[in-house]
A and B are shown apart, each in its own frame.
Chain A
Amino acid sequence: MSNEAATATTAAEAAPAPEPIPHGLGVALPAADARAKTEGTFPYAADLWAEGLLWAAVLRSPHPHARIVSIDTSHAREMPGVRAVVTHEDVPGSPVHGRGNADRPVFASDVVRHHGEPIAAVAADHPDTARMAAAAVIVEYEVLEPVTDPEQAFEAEPLHPDGNLIRHIPLRHGDPDAAGEIVVEGQYRIGRQDPAPIGAEAGLAVPRPDGGVELYVASTDPHTDRDTAAACYGLEPERVKVVVTGVPGATADREDQGFQLPLGLLALKTGCPVKLTATREESFLGHVHRHPTLLRYRHHADAEGKLVKVEAQILLDGGAYADTSSEALAAAVSFACGPYVVPNAFIEGWAVRTNNPPSGHVRGEGAMQVCAAYEAQMDKLAKKLGVDPAELRLRNVLATGDVLPTGQTVTCPAPVAELLQAVRDVPLPALPKDTPEDEWLLPGGPEGAGEPGAVRRGVGYGVGMVHMLGAEGTDEVSTATVRVQDGVATVLCAAVETGQGFTTLARQIVQDTLGIDEVHVAPVDTDQPPAGPGCRGRHTWVSGGAVERAAKMVRTQLLQPLAHKFGMSTELLQITDGKITSYDGVLSTTVTEAMDGKELWATAQCRPHPTEPLDETGQGDAFVGLAFCAIRAVVDVDIELGSVRVVELALAQDVGRVLNPTQLVARIEGGVTQGVGIALTENLRSARGVIRHPDLTGYALPTALDAPEIRIVKLVEERDVVAPFGAKSVSAVPVVTSPAAIASAVRAATGRPVNRLPIRPQAAVVTGQ
């Protein structure tokens, strides 16, 4: 953590009176589960246990594309200890499912379309027996030629009855004949990032006496998962209950339905609880990844460097199934020009189907890929014009009131220039000294091969944007209930705590509104009303808004009798530190006394203003809100080995309002570090559709040594008036921006084009001088 951020945190911690525990919005309230998580006592899904449970294993396809000739489960069924084997024939309800687009079979029946697609599942009395039995299911395949190049998907035979084109958006904005004096072109490629949650998927399914089933899983969208499961099991939604367990990391749609659905099926079939804990390999094969993307750009600018026109082609590899590729494409196309004023934009975007592993929601999807490309274009333009890259960006930045290429006017705060100036003006970090003690600072790390003489330092910039909440007319709604009794408040809301800090925020909101310090947030299950998925700052905005409304309703119930008694309106009463006082000081009582042993309940909903889908030319008010961030990256590159060390990332972000400084800094640091992974090491490689090295040795996540110094230079608190607290989504925009900034810095250090992420060592080598 940077010094500035550290001081900010300390100041916030010190601000309230020392004795009472900090409470309310804006303070660094520690997360309630932080201690249990650090001590290892927090129960995650993998820790679940039920009397007499069986263990499940899923058989997955070894081929990316094959026709299934036959499936023979007889050997597996006969193995001692095996209690049930299920295939596509055993799915009583809908044979297909999918987020948004039901195109994915529960179990492959005739064709497998990606490596790792589920074919059968087994329940047995021991996990090893289950795995061996799954391996004993004999599947005869007729191996087909896989389509793994998204560019070939257009011409290839349809891989799916729905065709190979998932979505096409031809965005047209402005004058197609506009041209600038300066033109720069580029082609960019972004790899396949895996969310690689630290806790792999795990779950427990328990059959219910009424013929239903309960799924104990680390779901981030329990109601959607319940509806999917119920449809596949042929049950009414009320007879399937999803109980959310501790979520061990979620920077994406973390759960793989490929194991959730079989789990419940096996429990229904055997009448016993069934548990599954995925291996790391299964985890890599099962869940969705970031879209590998191919981008071609042409930027036109005038002699002063003002952008005239942007033309782009964006091709997202959606993998075998649609999942949320359509939403990712909308973001990619809408933000293809970045937070810059572009009067004329012509963007063609496609999301296509291939036999690669399916892609879906990983935070900043769509926006991240285009950010790397348009920032590379801005660097090219600056180089061609001989202008400082930060200066060139400043000449073009977006502000409130400007129009996006989608025709939507930016109404929320957009302090992009302020952010960029903040990171540009902060002093650069010191150069490493050429002494043995500083050796570890070299690229390659401690005991590495770095040599000071071959190290070049580079400074680069990235400016990024994301949208908040679901786009294009998604009905964003959340419901929360607040209950107060005996001086203790309880929040019931189906918003899943994924690490974003919702439970802490809910406590803070209730503390602020009701003046009650002791606030509990109930565990989440689908008996509660839906709160929707946890992504794009949704729960802070929508669920936080619902909690606030419910708390205000309780407040009114609490104060109404008092107000009536004293002949004043409830607005003239205020609650602070558990005491109720009137504006004139006549009335002073405590919350406990006012409660008078009553129990107060209130339920409320929050539904932000609606959005509209992009039309056939990519125009429309598709987004509720936008968040921005600017990052200055400083890297050291060993130009002979091509090893890169990110020295420092200086960040300024548009956060709307700081609700919890500790959580905010943690979220930004996490996001930035995820971006370092995309920039340098994270790429789930596949060869002809087969994932290679699905393990944490082959898939190199950033370690503590790879994480740079993260310096939070400025948090711009310009409240977004339409958001319940004026707060913006904070986690996604650093993920979007930091890879672009790092690539820009490597470009500055080496003079190489760096048009591919992650940056391979050979792309950062300088030869022939």
Chain B
Amino acid sequence: MTLPTTLDEAVAALAAMPAAVPVAGGTDLMAAVNSGQLRPAALVGLGRISEIRGWQYLDGHALLGAGLTHARMGRPDFAALIPALAASARAAGPPQIRNAGTLGGNIASASPTGDALPVLAALEATLIIAGPGGARREIPVSHLLAGMEMLRAGELIGFVRVPLLHAPQVFLKATGRTGPGRALASVALVLDPARRGVRCAVGAIAPMPLRPLEAEEWVARLIDWDNNRAIVPEALSAFGEYVAAACIPDPGPAEDGSAQQLPPAVLHLRRTVAALARRALGRALS
């Protein structure tokens, strides 16, 4: 176990020990170690790297350190900046998990139920990856989650670049119980008034967050951006249905040409997504 104090030291440590595994909050990693599924040869602890535990402003963007904990992101000052990310951080589990788990860890674990992921997808966040020799490269978070681009050996997620949109954002999560639980489905929705856009991502129903792009474009045109972002109420439910149908499409006709029904559990999931998307848009525009 090594405990570097800068990002470059951490990258160097990983380069020196290719078998080492970086660990931040350890909320997923240590559970895997304890259950015997993972036996890392060495660990590089990221907890002492102060440069990635805060955030800074950069050209209308916020540069969020990968080591920000859910607990830190859930506080009001952060919520004023990026409300949806703060809401997802507050929903990300019991206090013990929120105190330890980090933004970077949520991305690196890429669990389908990672609560920050749909928010980052909706925000079209990009990752700043630190590589050997002080190298930095930037990739969209969706590329990493979709496996289009991977972290190379010795690379670490350093920062997450998120646009500051100065408009309402919503994160809604449906779970099986009132207490903390994994999302059955979640929806992140952000407004981008400068570009007159609505961006939405649905989490937990697929291996990575899904973006219903057509539904976003369609509903953005229905919003009266100059008049208090007014919208006809029917458009909200139509948007919900549109999003749900895009994420969970109708099954194709059977071989004999008859229409097929979705299984009841999937149908319920689709209804859940529709309700969440409708509520999210309604709250963002209210």
- Chain A interface residues (CB < 8 Å from chain B): 128, 131, 279, 281, 443-449, 451, 454, 640-643, 645, 680-681, 697, 700, 702-706, 761-762, 765, 767
Contact = CB atoms under 8 A, between A and B. Distances in A.
B197 to A, nearest CB: 23
A762 B176 CA distance: 11
B271 A767 contact: yes
A700 B180 CA distance: 10
A705 B179 contact: yes
A46 to B, nearest CB: 14
A449 B174 contact: yes
B178 A642 contact: no
B61 interface: no
**Most-contacted residue by chain B among A281, A704, A762 (CB, 10 A):** A762
A705 B36 CA distance: 32
Contacts of B271: 640, 765, 767
B82 interface: no
B35 interface: yes
Nearest to B279: A451
Nearest to A646: B178
B173 A449 contact: yes
Given A700-B181, A762-B265, A765-B268, A447 B87 contact: yes
Nearest to A128: B36
A447 B181 CA distance: 12
Nearest to B278: A640
Contacts, number: 79
Contacts of A443: 178
Contacts of B87: 447
A281 B37 CA distance: 13
Contacts of A705: 177-180
B53 interface: no
23 contacts: A128-B36, A444-B175, A445-B177, A446-B90, A447-B87, A448-B173, A449-B172, A449-B174, A449-B276, A640-B275, A641-B174, A641-B272, A641-B276, A697-B182, A700-B177, A703-B179, A705-B178, A705-B179, A705-B180, A706-B177, A761-B174, A765-B271, A767-B271
The 10 closest A-B pairs by CB, nearest first: A703-B179, A762-B268, A445-B178, A449-B172, A705-B179, A447-B91, A640-B275, A705-B178, A706-B178, A447-B90
Contact of A642 (B35, B268, B276, B279): B268
Contacts of A697: 182
Contacts of A642: 268, 272
A444 B179 contact: no
A445 B182 CA distance: 13
Interface size class, chain B? 20 to 34
A448 B175 contact: yes
Contacts of A128: 36
A680 B177 contact: yes
Given A281-B35, A445-B179, A762 B264 contact: yes
A449 B268 contact: no
Given A444-B178, A449-B172, A681-B176, A641 B275 contact: yes
Contacts of A706: 177-179
A680 B175 CA distance: 12
Interface in B164-199: 172-182, 184
B275 A645 contact: no
A761 B91 contact: no
A129 B177 CA distance: 38
Given A449-B275, A454-B275, A643-B175, 8 more contacts: A448-B173, A448-B175, A640-B271, A640-B272, A642-B268, A681-B177, A702-B177, A706-B179
Contacts of A448: 91, 172-175, 178
A702 B265 CA distance: 23
B171 to A, nearest CB: 8
Nearest to A698: B182
Contact of B176 (A447, A700, A704): A700
B252 to A, nearest CB: 23
A697 B111 CA distance: 14
A642 B268 CA distance: 9
Contacts of A279: 35
Given A131-B36, A279-B35, A642-B268, A447 B173 contact: yes
Contacts of A451: 279
A643 B36 contact: no
Contacts of A704: 179
Nearest to A704: B179
Contacts of B276: 449, 641
A454 B278 CA distance: 12
A444 B176 CA distance: 8
Nearest to B34: A279
A67 to B, nearest CB: 28
B268 A444 contact: no
Contacts of B175: 444-445, 448, 643
Nearest to A708: B178
Contacts of B35: 279, 281
Contacts of A643: 174-175, 178
Contacts of A681: 176-177
B118 to A, nearest CB: 13
A448 B187 CA distance: 11
Nearest to B282: A451
Nearest to A680: B177
Interface string B25-38: 00000000001100
Contacts of B279: 449, 451
A470 B94 CA distance: 41
A130 to B, nearest CB: 11
A379 B176 CA distance: 26
A298 to B, nearest CB: 26
Contacts of B182: 697
A368 to B, nearest CB: 20
Contacts of A446: 90
Contacts of B180: 703, 705
A316 to B, nearest CB: 26
A456 to B, nearest CB: 14
A29 to B, nearest CB: 32
A767 to B, nearest CB: 7
Contacts of B91: 447-448
A447 B179 CA distance: 10
Interface in B85-109: 87, 90-91, 94
B90 A444 contact: no
Contacts of A640: 271-272, 275
Contacts of B179: 445, 702-706
A677 B247 CA distance: 31
A447 to B, nearest CB: 4
Contacts of B181: 700
Nearest to B183: A449
A702 to B, nearest CB: 7
Contacts of A762: 264-265, 267-268
Given A449-B172, A640-B275, A641-B275, A703 B36 contact: no
A759 to B, nearest CB: 11
Contacts of B172: 448-449
Interface in B239-271: 264-265, 267-268, 271
Contacts of A680: 177
A448 B275 CA distance: 13
A645 B178 CA distance: 7
Contacts of A445: 175, 177-179
B86 to A, nearest CB: 10
A672 to B, nearest CB: 15
A640 B275 CA distance: 7
A761 B178 contact: no
B31 to A, nearest CB: 9
B264 A444 contact: no
